[in-house]
């Protein structure tokens, strides 16, 4: 383009003046055209401009004019010097332009890599982080879709984790043998000899250039390191979780064995005492010993039942049979039982009429009994009273068991519902250490909640709520 137009324009411009200027100077006039063509268009246009200049110079400006015949020997030399010079300039300029272009491409390459690396460093482990990274990658390189396969830690197989710009599961893991389809870019993500993943890129674009390929490979190496980092981090976290749960299990085991062994020790001591020969005994004392054995056997049995419930709750094997339960009925049964157990205890009940809650009646009974027993123990230690109240709100009914003991500090209110939690090592455990944990477990199964409040004037209030059932009159 530049070569032909420039040559034609110059020729037209110089033509009227051709008699006034020496032929040699006119020849130099074509050189800027050649330089311009080569600088802008590269080697091809430069060479074209050289030859166009060579021909037109000869035809129009070397006497005899308007023929290809060359009049004088020195003109032949001038003509070929012009041609040689033009070609040389074209070649040099073209090489320069190429270099500049390569430098620019390289800079672009580095910038792309830098952007992606920065993203890799800040990568949030998991599908979301990988997805945003992958979409940036295909945008940078002009692909339309990509799929990321990551090695499954268990089976060590590659699984598709991210699909951008295409339906999940449609990207083939292996190279398509079908030549009619557009070739895919398969980029392994590996650290050392271990393949951690595979990136498959697809799109309507020219085949990847060597420069781009270099960037992609460098990116993949870094991506693989990021994957490895995430994997190690995950396994470290898992190890930490395992260590902690192991610790919990050990302290649970210690608590369980202590709690099981205490009643057992009392039973064994009493029995071996009674078995002793030749000892004069008061019948009342014998009866007392037998009574103690009976009580401790019951305690052991209750503890085992609680342990079983706890493990059923934790194992997800317990299901609530939800039905409309008359709260007054359950509460009065539990209160009667506690009054029988603690004859000196004063229990006050206050509740709305006809409160019906959606609950499992057996679970509800266990929860109420449990809270009442705890409160009764606190009250009998402090010679106090216990109040029970039930209040229905719009959708839930809240039951409160109120004692006037020492109360529960805020710092341990959550932990109090952990199995075998004790407020302090120094404090004797009141029950089996499982009652509150089981109550919480039951309430979780019944869409209820349990929490601890301060009793006005001192003491603890254990409150739990259950969904109300609206009773339609008539």
Partner 1 sequence: MKPSRILVVDDEDHIRAAVGRALDARGYLVEQASDGDAALTVASTFEPDLVVLDLNMPVLNGLEFTRILRTRSSVPILVLSVREDATDKVAALDLGADDYLTKPFSIDELMARVRALLRRASATGPRSLQFASDDVVIDLDAHLVTRAGDEVRLTRTEWNLLEALSEHPGKLLTHRWLLERVWGEGYADDVEVLRVFISQLRRKIEKEPGRPKIIGTDPGVGYRWLLRPAGEEPVS
List the one residue from 159, 243, 249, 258 that touches partner 1 (CB under 8 A).
Answer: 258
Span interacting with partner 1, options 17-25, 167-175, 253-261, 396-404, rule CB under 8 A: 253-261
266 scored as a contact of partner 1 (CB under 8 A): yes
Kindly write out the interface string for residues 421-450 of this chain, putting x where it contacts partner 1 by CB under 8 A and - elsewhere: ----xxxx----------------------
Shortest distance (Å) from residue 287 CB to partner 1? 11
380 interacts with partner 1 by CB under 8 A: no
Residue with tokens 């449990």: 370
Binding to partner 1 in span 326-365, by CB under 8 A: none
Torsion of CA 348, 353, 359, 362, to 10 degrees: 50
Is the alpha carbon torsion for 370, 374, 380, 386 positive or negative? negative
Among 107, 132, 106, which residue's Cα sits nearest to residue 120? 132
Q: Is 206 exposed, middle or buried (0-12, 13-18, 19+ CB in 10 A)?
A: exposed
Site string for partner 1, 8-47 (x = CB under 8 A): ----------------------------------------
Q: Which one of residues 122, 285, 304, 354 is an interface residue with partner 1 (CB under 8 A)?
A: 285
- State which residue, 122 or 290, has the beta carbon closest to partner 1: 290
From the CB of 160, what's the least distance to partner 1, in Å?
A: 51
**Pairing relation of β-strands 449-454 and 385-392?**
unpaired
Q: Distance between CA atoms of 188 and 186, rounded to whole angstroms?
A: 6
DSSP codes of every residue in 298-345: HHHHHHHHHHHHHHHHHTT------EEEEHHHHHHHHHHHHHHHSTT-
Are 382 and 405 in contact by the 8 Å Cβ rule? The answer is yes
List, edge to edge, every strand of the sheet that includes 185-191. 158-164, 145-151, 194-202, 185-191
One of 5, 232, 254, 354 touching partner 1 (CB under 8 A):
254
| DSSP per-residue letters across 345-407 | -EEEEEE-TT-EEEE-HHHHHHHHHHHHHHHHHHHHHHT-EEEEEEEE-SSEEEEEEE--SS-
Distance separating alpha carbons of residues 153 and 176, to the nearest angstrom: 26
Closest to partner 1 by CB, 10 vs 255, is 255
Strand partners, 200: 147, 186
The one among 179, 192, 276, 316 contacting partner 1 by CB under 8 A: 276
State which residue, 81 or 285, has the beta carbon closest to partner 1.
Answer: 285
Give the burial class of 231: count Cβ atoms within 10 A of its Cβ; 0-12 exposed, 13-18 middle, 19 or more buried.
middle
Q: Please choose, from the candidates 158, 146, 161, 152, the residue with its C-alpha nearest in 3D space to the C-alpha of residue 199.
A: 146
Min. distance of Cβ 274 from partner 1 in angstroms? Answer: 9
> Which of 22, 280, 411, 470 contacts partner 1 by CB under 8 A?
280
Stretch that binds partner 1, among 27-35, 199-207, 276-284, 321-329 (CB under 8 A): 276-284
Our CB check for partner 1 shows the closer of 275 and 317 to be 275
Beta carbon of residue 288, minimum distance to partner 1 (angstroms, whole number): 7
Return the ∠ at Cα 330 (arms to 326 and 334), rounded to 5°. Answer: 165
Q: Binding of partner 1 at residue 405 (CB under 8 A)?
A: no
Name which of residues 288 to 327 contact partner 1 (CB under 8 A): 288-289, 292, 295-296
249 is a contact residue toward partner 1 (CB under 8 A):
no
In three-state secondary structure terms, 33 is helix
State which residue, 144 or 380, has the beta carbon closest to partner 1: 380
* Residue with smaller CB distance to partner 1, 97 or 264: 264
Residue 262 lies near partner 1 (rule: CB under 8 A): yes
Q: What tokens does 396 get?
A: 């839930």
Give the pair of three-digit tokens for residue 382.
Answer: 């402090």
In terms of CB distance, is 31 or 264 closer to partner 1? 264
Q: Which stretch binds partner 1 (CB under 8 A): 32-40, 119-127, 178-186, 255-263?
A: 255-263
Task: Based on the shown chain and the rule CB under 8 A, indicate whether residue 257 belongs to the binding site for partner 1.
Answer: yes
Binding region for partner 1 (CB under 8 A): 254, 257-258, 261-270, 272-273, 275-276, 279-281, 285, 288-289, 292, 295-296, 425-428
């Amino acid at each position: 383009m530049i070569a032909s137009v420039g040559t034609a324009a110059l020729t037209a411009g110089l033509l009227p003046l051709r008699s006034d200027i020496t032929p040699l100077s006119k020849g130099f006039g074509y050189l800027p055209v050649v330089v311009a063509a080569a600088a802008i268009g590269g080697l091809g246009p430069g060479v074209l401009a050289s030859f166009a200049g060579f021909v037109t110079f000869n035809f129009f400006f070397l006497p005899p004019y308007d023929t290809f015949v060359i009049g004088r020997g020195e003109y032949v030399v001038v003509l070929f010097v012009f041609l040689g010079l033009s070609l040389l300039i074209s070649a040099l300029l073209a090489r320069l332009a190429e270099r500049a272009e390569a430098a620019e491409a390289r800079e672009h390459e580095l910038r792309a890599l830098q952007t992606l690396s920065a993203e890799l460093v800040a990568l949030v482990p998991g599908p979301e982080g990988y997805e945003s990274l992958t979409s940036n990658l295909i945008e940078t390189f002009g692909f339309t879709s990509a799929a990321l396969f990551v090695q499954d830690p268990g089976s060590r197989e590659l699984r598709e984790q991210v699909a951008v710009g295409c339906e999940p599961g449609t990207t083939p893991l292996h190279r398509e043998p079908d030549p009619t389809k557009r070739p895919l870019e398969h980029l392994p993500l590996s650290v050392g000899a271990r393949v951690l993943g595979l990136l498959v890129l697809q799109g309507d674009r020219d085949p990847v250039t060597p420069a781009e390929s270099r960037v992609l490979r460098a990116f993949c190496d870094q991506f693989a390191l990021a994957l490895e980092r995430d994997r190690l981090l995950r396994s470290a976290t898992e190890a930490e979780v395992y260590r902690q749960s192991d610790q919990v299990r050990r302290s649970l085991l210690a608590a369980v064995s202590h709690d099981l062994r205490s009643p057992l020790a009392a039973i064994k001591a009493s029995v071996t005492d009674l078995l002793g020969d030749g000892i004069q005994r008061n019948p009342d004392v014998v009866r007392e010993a037998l009574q103690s054995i009976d009580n401790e056997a019951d305690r052991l049995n209750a503890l085992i039942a609680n342990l079983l419930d706890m493990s059923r709750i934790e194992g997800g094997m317990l299901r609530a049979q939800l039905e409309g339960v008359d709260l007054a009925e359950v509460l009065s049964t539990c209160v009667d039982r506690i009054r029988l157990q603690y004859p000196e205890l004063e229990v006050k009940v206050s509740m709305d009429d006809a409160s019906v809650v959606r609950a499992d009646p057996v679970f509800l009974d266990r929860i109420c009994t449990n809270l009442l027993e705890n409160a009764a123990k606190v009250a009998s230690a402090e010679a106090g009273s216990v109040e029970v109240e039930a209040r229905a709100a719009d959708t839930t009914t809240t039951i409160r068991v109120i004692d006037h003991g020492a109360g529960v500090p805020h710092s341990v209110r959550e932990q109090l519902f952990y199995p075998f939690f004790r407020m302090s090592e120094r404090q004797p455990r009141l029950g089996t250490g499982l009652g509150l944990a089981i109550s919480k477990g039951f309430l979780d199964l019944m869409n209820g909640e349990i929490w601890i409040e301060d009793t006005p004037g001192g003491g603890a209030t254990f409150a739990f709520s259950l969904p109300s059932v609206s009773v339609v009159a008539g």
